[in-house]
Copies of this chain bind each other. A is one copy, B any other.
Amino acid sequence: MKKYLYGVDLGGTTVKFGLFSFEGNIIENFEIKTNTSDEGIAILPDIAKAILENMEKNNIIQNEVNGIGIGVPGPVSSGVVNRCVNLGWGIVDVKNDLEKLTGINVSVSNDANVAGLGELWQGGGLGYSNLVFFTLGTGVGGAVVVDNKVIDGHAGAGGELGHAPLMDVPYLCNCGKTGCLETVASATGVVRVAKDYLTHTDEPSVLRILEHISAKDVFDAAKANDAIGLKTVEYFGKYLGYICAVVAQTNDPEAFVFGGGVSKAGQIILEVVEKYFNQYAFYALRGKTQFKLATLGNDAGIFGSAYLAKQL
Protein backbone atom coordinates (compact mmCIF):
# COMPACT_ATOMS: atom_id res chain seq x y z
CA MET A 1 0.00 0.00 0.00
CA LYS A 2 1.21 3.49 -0.86
CA LYS A 3 1.55 5.30 2.44
CA TYR A 4 4.32 7.88 1.87
CA LEU A 5 5.50 10.71 -0.36
CA TYR A 6 8.90 12.38 -0.55
CA GLY A 7 9.07 16.03 -1.54
CA VAL A 8 12.49 17.40 -2.54
CA ASP A 9 13.37 21.07 -3.00
CA LEU A 10 16.74 21.24 -4.75
CA GLY A 11 18.48 24.60 -4.32
CA GLY A 12 21.94 25.87 -5.11
CA THR A 13 23.21 25.52 -1.52
CA THR A 14 20.81 23.15 0.25
CA VAL A 15 18.54 20.26 -0.66
CA LYS A 16 15.42 20.22 1.51
CA PHE A 17 13.40 17.05 1.99
CA GLY A 18 9.97 16.36 3.41
CA LEU A 19 8.57 12.95 4.26
CA PHE A 20 4.77 13.14 3.98
CA SER A 21 1.90 10.76 4.56
CA PHE A 22 -0.02 10.01 1.35
CA GLU A 23 -2.81 12.28 2.67
CA GLY A 24 -0.37 15.17 2.92
CA ASN A 25 0.65 15.42 6.57
CA ILE A 26 4.29 16.25 7.01
CA ILE A 27 6.06 13.58 9.09
CA GLU A 28 9.66 14.75 8.99
CA ASN A 29 11.91 17.46 7.48
CA PHE A 30 15.59 17.03 6.76
CA GLU A 31 18.23 18.57 4.53
CA ILE A 32 21.68 18.07 3.02
CA LYS A 33 24.22 20.39 1.40
CA THR A 34 24.12 20.69 -2.40
CA ASN A 35 27.45 19.52 -3.79
CA THR A 36 27.87 21.55 -6.99
CA SER A 37 31.49 20.50 -7.67
CA ASP A 38 32.29 18.59 -10.90
CA GLU A 39 29.22 20.03 -12.65
CA GLY A 40 26.98 18.78 -9.86
CA ILE A 41 27.58 15.12 -10.66
CA ALA A 42 27.05 14.01 -7.04
CA ILE A 43 23.74 15.84 -6.53
CA LEU A 44 21.32 13.10 -7.61
CA PRO A 45 23.29 10.27 -5.91
CA ASP A 46 23.37 12.36 -2.70
CA ILE A 47 19.60 12.88 -2.90
CA ALA A 48 18.97 9.17 -3.51
CA LYS A 49 21.22 8.24 -0.58
CA ALA A 50 19.46 10.67 1.77
CA ILE A 51 16.04 9.30 0.83
CA LEU A 52 17.09 5.64 1.08
CA GLU A 53 18.68 6.28 4.49
CA ASN A 54 15.54 8.05 5.70
CA MET A 55 13.41 5.12 4.52
CA GLU A 56 15.64 2.69 6.40
CA LYS A 57 15.56 4.80 9.55
CA ASN A 58 11.75 4.91 9.44
CA ASN A 59 11.33 1.26 8.38
CA ILE A 60 9.70 2.33 5.12
CA ILE A 61 9.89 -0.14 2.24
CA GLN A 62 10.01 0.82 -1.45
CA ASN A 63 6.47 -0.36 -2.12
CA GLU A 64 5.06 1.97 0.48
CA VAL A 65 6.40 5.09 -1.26
CA ASN A 66 4.07 6.46 -3.94
CA GLY A 67 6.79 8.61 -5.42
CA ILE A 68 9.45 11.26 -5.13
CA GLY A 69 8.66 14.76 -6.36
CA ILE A 70 11.46 17.20 -6.98
CA GLY A 71 11.64 20.89 -7.80
CA VAL A 72 14.78 22.07 -9.60
CA PRO A 73 16.06 25.59 -10.31
CA GLY A 74 15.84 25.45 -14.11
CA PRO A 75 13.49 24.76 -17.03
CA VAL A 76 12.04 21.25 -17.08
CA SER A 77 10.41 19.40 -19.94
CA SER A 78 9.27 15.76 -19.63
CA GLY A 79 11.43 15.17 -16.55
CA VAL A 80 14.58 16.50 -18.22
CA VAL A 81 16.27 19.64 -16.96
CA ASN A 82 17.87 21.97 -19.48
CA ARG A 83 20.67 23.93 -17.75
CA CYS A 84 20.67 24.82 -14.06
CA VAL A 85 23.39 27.45 -13.70
CA ASN A 86 23.19 27.30 -9.87
CA LEU A 87 23.89 23.55 -9.87
CA GLY A 88 26.48 23.43 -12.64
CA TRP A 89 24.11 21.24 -14.65
CA GLY A 90 23.74 21.07 -18.40
CA ILE A 91 21.06 18.68 -19.66
CA VAL A 92 20.19 16.18 -16.92
CA ASP A 93 17.48 13.51 -17.11
CA VAL A 94 16.47 13.93 -13.47
CA LYS A 95 13.44 11.66 -13.65
CA ASN A 96 15.22 8.74 -15.23
CA ASP A 97 18.45 9.06 -13.23
CA LEU A 98 16.73 9.40 -9.86
CA GLU A 99 14.36 6.52 -10.63
CA LYS A 100 17.35 4.30 -11.41
CA LEU A 101 19.10 5.35 -8.19
CA THR A 102 16.08 4.77 -5.93
CA GLY A 103 13.75 2.32 -7.70
CA ILE A 104 10.92 4.76 -6.93
CA ASN A 105 8.79 6.76 -9.40
CA VAL A 106 9.93 10.36 -9.78
CA SER A 107 8.17 13.52 -10.98
CA VAL A 108 10.16 16.67 -11.74
CA SER A 109 9.22 20.30 -12.22
CA ASN A 110 10.69 23.76 -11.99
CA ASP A 111 11.14 25.09 -8.42
CA ALA A 112 8.75 28.04 -8.86
CA ASN A 113 6.13 25.73 -10.41
CA VAL A 114 6.50 23.34 -7.50
CA ALA A 115 6.11 26.17 -4.96
CA GLY A 116 2.88 27.22 -6.68
CA LEU A 117 1.62 23.65 -6.51
CA GLY A 118 2.45 23.54 -2.79
CA GLU A 119 0.46 26.72 -2.16
CA LEU A 120 -2.48 25.23 -4.08
CA TRP A 121 -2.33 21.99 -2.12
CA GLN A 122 -1.94 23.28 1.42
CA GLY A 123 -1.17 27.01 1.34
CA GLY A 124 -2.69 30.30 0.23
CA GLY A 125 -4.38 28.56 -2.71
CA LEU A 126 -6.02 25.83 -0.63
CA GLY A 127 -9.35 24.86 -2.12
CA TYR A 128 -8.56 25.98 -5.68
CA SER A 129 -7.63 23.75 -8.62
CA ASN A 130 -6.71 26.58 -10.99
CA LEU A 131 -4.35 29.30 -9.88
CA VAL A 132 -1.40 31.38 -10.90
CA PHE A 133 1.39 31.87 -8.36
CA PHE A 134 4.02 34.60 -8.29
CA THR A 135 7.21 34.40 -6.21
CA LEU A 136 8.21 38.02 -5.70
CA GLY A 137 11.80 37.62 -4.49
CA THR A 138 15.18 38.81 -5.77
CA GLY A 139 13.68 37.91 -9.15
CA VAL A 140 10.11 36.99 -10.05
CA GLY A 141 9.11 33.38 -10.60
CA GLY A 142 5.72 32.03 -11.47
CA ALA A 143 3.62 28.92 -11.65
CA VAL A 144 0.50 28.20 -13.67
CA VAL A 145 -1.71 25.43 -12.33
CA VAL A 146 -4.67 24.15 -14.33
CA ASP A 147 -6.86 21.36 -12.92
CA ASN A 148 -4.27 20.72 -10.16
CA LYS A 149 -1.50 20.15 -12.72
CA VAL A 150 1.38 22.49 -13.18
CA ILE A 151 2.03 23.66 -16.77
CA ASP A 152 5.72 23.11 -17.59
CA GLY A 153 5.26 24.08 -21.24
CA HIS A 154 6.93 22.67 -24.34
CA ALA A 155 10.23 24.52 -23.77
CA GLY A 156 9.99 24.54 -19.98
CA ALA A 157 8.93 28.20 -19.95
CA GLY A 158 5.42 27.65 -18.54
CA GLY A 159 4.87 30.05 -15.65
CA GLU A 160 8.03 32.06 -16.41
CA LEU A 161 6.07 35.18 -15.62
CA GLY A 162 9.07 37.10 -14.32
CA HIS A 163 9.96 37.53 -17.98
CA ALA A 164 6.50 38.52 -19.12
CA PRO A 165 7.17 41.57 -21.30
CA LEU A 166 5.97 45.10 -20.53
CA MET A 167 5.94 47.48 -23.46
CA ASP A 168 6.66 50.79 -21.79
CA VAL A 169 9.00 49.75 -18.99
CA PRO A 170 12.55 50.94 -19.75
CA TYR A 171 14.61 48.69 -17.44
CA LEU A 172 17.05 46.08 -18.76
CA CYS A 173 16.56 42.56 -17.37
CA ASN A 174 19.32 40.03 -16.59
CA CYS A 175 17.89 37.89 -19.39
CA GLY A 176 18.92 40.49 -21.97
CA LYS A 177 15.44 41.83 -22.72
CA THR A 178 14.09 45.23 -21.72
CA GLY A 179 10.94 45.56 -19.65
CA CYS A 180 10.50 42.11 -18.09
CA LEU A 181 8.01 42.06 -15.19
CA GLU A 182 10.80 41.21 -12.74
CA THR A 183 12.54 44.52 -13.49
CA VAL A 184 9.70 46.26 -11.62
CA ALA A 185 7.94 43.63 -9.45
CA SER A 186 10.88 41.88 -7.76
CA ALA A 187 12.51 43.18 -4.56
CA THR A 188 15.33 44.55 -6.71
CA GLY A 189 12.79 46.03 -9.10
CA VAL A 190 10.83 47.82 -6.40
CA VAL A 191 14.05 49.41 -5.11
CA ARG A 192 15.07 50.36 -8.66
CA VAL A 193 11.78 52.13 -9.32
CA ALA A 194 11.86 53.93 -5.96
CA LYS A 195 15.41 55.16 -6.62
CA ASP A 196 14.31 56.39 -10.04
CA TYR A 197 11.52 58.43 -8.45
CA LEU A 198 13.95 59.77 -5.83
CA THR A 199 16.38 60.84 -8.54
CA HIS A 200 13.85 62.36 -10.91
CA THR A 201 11.60 64.21 -8.49
CA ASP A 202 12.15 66.63 -5.61
CA GLU A 203 9.36 65.23 -3.47
CA PRO A 204 10.24 64.74 0.18
CA SER A 205 10.51 61.10 1.26
CA VAL A 206 11.66 59.16 4.29
CA LEU A 207 13.58 57.03 1.80
CA ARG A 208 15.98 59.91 1.05
CA ILE A 209 17.76 59.55 4.41
CA LEU A 210 18.41 55.81 4.07
CA GLU A 211 21.86 54.63 3.03
CA HIS A 212 20.54 51.37 1.61
CA ILE A 213 16.92 51.04 0.52
CA SER A 214 15.15 47.67 0.65
CA ALA A 215 11.79 46.67 -0.85
CA LYS A 216 10.49 46.48 2.73
CA ASP A 217 11.54 50.11 3.29
CA VAL A 218 9.56 51.15 0.22
CA PHE A 219 6.38 49.33 1.28
CA ASP A 220 6.75 50.61 4.86
CA ALA A 221 7.08 54.13 3.49
CA ALA A 222 3.93 53.66 1.40
CA LYS A 223 2.03 52.40 4.45
CA ALA A 224 3.10 55.64 6.21
CA ASN A 225 1.74 57.66 3.24
CA ASP A 226 5.18 58.65 1.97
CA ALA A 227 4.78 60.14 -1.53
CA ILE A 228 7.63 58.23 -3.21
CA GLY A 229 6.67 55.01 -1.39
CA LEU A 230 3.09 55.37 -2.65
CA LYS A 231 4.17 56.15 -6.22
CA THR A 232 6.45 53.12 -6.30
CA VAL A 233 3.75 50.81 -4.97
CA GLU A 234 1.30 52.13 -7.59
CA TYR A 235 3.88 51.47 -10.34
CA PHE A 236 4.49 47.95 -8.98
CA GLY A 237 0.76 47.25 -8.76
CA LYS A 238 -0.02 48.67 -12.17
CA TYR A 239 2.32 46.35 -14.04
CA LEU A 240 1.75 43.26 -11.90
CA GLY A 241 -2.01 43.81 -12.06
CA TYR A 242 -1.79 44.31 -15.83
CA ILE A 243 0.07 41.03 -16.35
CA CYS A 244 -2.47 39.27 -14.11
CA ALA A 245 -5.20 40.63 -16.40
CA VAL A 246 -3.58 39.25 -19.56
CA VAL A 247 -3.01 35.92 -17.81
CA ALA A 248 -6.67 35.91 -16.72
CA GLN A 249 -7.81 36.43 -20.34
CA THR A 250 -5.71 33.37 -21.16
CA ASN A 251 -6.47 30.83 -18.41
CA ASP A 252 -9.09 32.53 -16.23
CA PRO A 253 -7.71 31.05 -12.97
CA GLU A 254 -9.72 31.10 -9.74
CA ALA A 255 -6.97 32.92 -7.88
CA PHE A 256 -3.62 34.68 -8.02
CA VAL A 257 -1.34 33.86 -5.07
CA PHE A 258 1.71 35.94 -4.13
CA GLY A 259 4.73 34.61 -2.23
CA GLY A 260 8.40 35.50 -1.85
CA GLY A 261 10.05 38.23 0.23
CA VAL A 262 8.15 41.14 -1.32
CA SER A 263 4.81 39.54 -0.43
CA LYS A 264 5.65 39.94 3.27
CA ALA A 265 4.43 43.53 2.84
CA GLY A 266 1.02 41.85 3.08
CA GLN A 267 -2.42 43.23 2.27
CA ILE A 268 -1.07 46.35 0.53
CA ILE A 269 0.21 44.09 -2.28
CA LEU A 270 -3.15 42.42 -2.82
CA GLU A 271 -5.01 45.71 -2.78
CA VAL A 272 -2.88 47.51 -5.33
CA VAL A 273 -2.65 44.52 -7.68
CA GLU A 274 -6.38 43.89 -7.58
CA LYS A 275 -7.09 47.59 -8.17
CA TYR A 276 -5.17 47.56 -11.45
CA PHE A 277 -6.38 44.07 -12.37
CA ASN A 278 -9.95 45.36 -12.19
CA GLN A 279 -8.98 48.26 -14.43
CA TYR A 280 -7.47 46.01 -17.12
CA ALA A 281 -9.49 42.77 -16.93
CA PHE A 282 -12.66 41.78 -18.80
CA TYR A 283 -15.88 42.80 -17.02
CA ALA A 284 -16.82 39.16 -16.42
CA LEU A 285 -13.71 38.70 -14.26
CA ARG A 286 -13.83 41.78 -12.08
CA GLY A 287 -14.54 40.86 -8.48
CA LYS A 288 -14.60 37.14 -9.33
CA THR A 289 -10.88 36.39 -9.42
CA GLN A 290 -9.34 36.05 -5.94
CA PHE A 291 -6.05 37.59 -4.77
CA LYS A 292 -4.27 35.79 -1.92
CA LEU A 293 -1.00 35.74 -0.03
CA ALA A 294 1.10 32.59 0.09
CA THR A 295 1.31 30.95 3.52
CA LEU A 296 3.92 28.17 3.28
CA GLY A 297 7.04 30.36 3.02
CA ASN A 298 10.19 28.32 2.37
CA ASP A 299 8.30 25.05 2.79
CA ALA A 300 6.21 25.59 -0.37
CA GLY A 301 8.82 23.65 -2.37
CA ILE A 302 8.68 20.44 -0.35
CA PHE A 303 4.89 20.60 -0.15
CA GLY A 304 4.55 21.10 -3.90
CA SER A 305 7.03 18.37 -4.77
CA ALA A 306 5.24 15.99 -2.40
CA TYR A 307 2.03 16.82 -4.27
CA LEU A 308 3.81 16.01 -7.54
CA ALA A 309 4.70 12.65 -5.95
CA LYS A 310 1.07 12.12 -4.95
CA GLN A 311 -0.06 12.72 -8.54
CA LEU A 312 2.21 9.97 -9.91
Binding site for B on A (CB under 8 A): 75, 130, 132, 142, 144, 146-147, 149, 151-161, 163-168, 175-177, 242-243, 245-254, 280-285, 288-289
Given contacts A165-B280, A280-B165, A281-B165, contact A157 B248 (CB under 8 A): yes
| A193 vs chain B, min Cβ distance (A) | 16
Oligomeric state, in copies: 2
Contact of A165 among B151, B177, B242, B289 (CB under 8 A): B242
Q: Are A168 and B165 in contact (CB under 8 A)?
A: no
Report the bound CA distance from A147 to B153 in whole Å: 10
Residue ID in chain B nearest A128 by CB atoms: B154
Contact residues in B for A149 (Cβ distance below 8 Å): 147
Q: Which residues of B contact A284 (CB under 8 A)?
A: 75, 155-157, 160
**Chain B residue contacts of A154, Cβ below 8 A:** 130, 252-254, 288-289
Instruction: List, in ascending order, chain B residues with CB within 8 A of A156's CB.
Output: 252, 284
B249 pairs with A151, CB closer than 8 A: no
State whether A177 touches B250 (Cβ < 8 A): no
A167 to B241, CA, bound (A): 12
Contacts of A146 in B (CB 8 A): 146, 151
Q: How far is the CA of A254 from the CA of B249 in the complex (A)?
A: 19
Looking at the complex, which one of B164, B165, B252 makes contact with A160 (CB distance below 8 Å)? B252
Identify the interface centre among A144, A177, A246: most chain B CB within 10 Å of its CB.
A246
Quick one: given A157-B285, A282-B177, are A252 and B167 in contact (CB under 8 Å)? no
Given known A168-B168, A175-B282, contact A249–B157 (CB-CB < 8 A): yes
In the complex, what distance in Å separates the CA atom of A156 from the CA atom of B288?
A: 11
Q: A155-B284, A175-B283 are in contact. List 14 more A-B contacts (CB 8 A).
A: A146-B146, A147-B149, A151-B251, A151-B252, A153-B248, A153-B251, A155-B252, A155-B288, A157-B248, A157-B284, A158-B251, A158-B252, A167-B242, A176-B283
Task: Please indicate the chain B residues that have their CB under 8 angstroms from the CB of A130 in the complex.
Answer: 153-154
Complex Cα distance, B154 from A130, in Å, reads: 8
Alpha-carbon distance between A158 and B284 when the two chains are bound, in angstroms: 11
Q: Please, which residues of chain B bring their CB within 8 A of the CB of A176?
A: 283
User: How many angstroms between the C-alpha atoms of A176 and B280 in the bound complex?
Assistant: 11
Q: Would A250 and B158 be within 8 Å (CB), given that A146-B151, A153-B130, A167-B167 are in contact?
A: yes
Question: Which residue of chain B is the closest to A173 with respect to CB atoms?
Answer: B282
Known contacts A155-B288, A283-B175; A247 and B245 CB within 8 A of each other: no
Contact A165 B246 (CB under 8 A): yes
